[in-house]
Structure 1
Amino acid sequence: MKFDTATIMISEASDEFPPSSAAFYLYVDDADASMERALTAGAEKIMDAADMPYGDRQGGVRDRSGNIWWVSQRLSANPYF
């Protein structure tokens, strides 16, 4: 998977490398569109996209392997980042 200049390698589990759960926090240009793409691809929604008090629009999904993906869109300048 490639996100702007970052590349993340993911793969299916195998006998040699059994499944493990992970959590990812991704910043995207459009949280709602990214959530919709994830759900269309078979992810399970764990949190609707909503505006957060820290200036992000964020939603969450769980993929078929049990990994959690937090999808966030920066809505305003955040002094903490």
Structure 2
Amino acid sequence: MVVTPDHHHTVTPMLCVPDAAAAIAFYCEVFDAPEIFDRHVDEAGKVGHAEVLIGDSPVWIVDEYPEYDIHPPRGPAPVQMIVYVPDVDSVFDRAIAAGATVYHPPTDMPYGERNGRFDDPFGYRWSIRMRH
């Protein structure tokens, strides 16, 4: 039996970024996501652990820790974050205004979804989706 903390799911992503404080601000703004965990900041000022809640899913955010082999993406991340939202266009617009770059603008898809994809300033690609 898998036992997870109350606000977690079986799979919870941990994003390593080059500037965790800036990433937290970005994700909170773009996704209207609250920070749900008291940030652990080490003596050097690096974020060792923080959590934001995107929809009903916690996302962990940490700074780079080479001594523990924790690194941000070097080039495009090999994983894409898929997030279902009530309004693709407003989330997408907030992301671009906050510094993300357009990968694919919001488009109605033949399989009944509207989606758009952007690359955040920290190396991750996000696919923002909603059902029609």
Shorter-chain TM range is 0.7 to 0.9
> Which of 15, 39, 58 matches 1:7?
58
SS in 2 for 1:53: coil
* Higher RCO structure, 1 or 2 (CA under 8 Å, sep 6+): 1
- RMSD, aligned α-carbons: 1.5
Cα distance in 2 for residues equivalent to 1:12 and 1:44: 21
Cα distance in 1 for residues equivalent to 2:93 and 2:131: 18
Higher mean C-alpha displacement, 39-48 vs 11-20: 11-20
Partner of 1:63: 120
Cα distance in 1 for residues equivalent to 2:98 and 2:64: 18
Tell me how many residue pairs correspond in the alignment.
75
Percent identity between matched residues is: 31
Partner of 2:85: 28
Cα distance in 2 for residues equivalent to 1:56 and 1:74: 4
Structure 1 unaligned blocks of 5 or more: 76-81
Structure 2 unaligned blocks of 5 or more: 1-51
Cα distance in 2 for residues equivalent to 1:70 and 1:12: 23
Cα distance in 1 for residues equivalent to 2:55 and 2:91: 14
Cα distance in 2 for residues equivalent to 1:23 and 1:10: 15
Please, what TM-score do these two structures have when normalized by structure 2?
Answer: 0.52
How far is 1:9 from its partner? 1.4
How far is 1:12 from its partner? 3.7
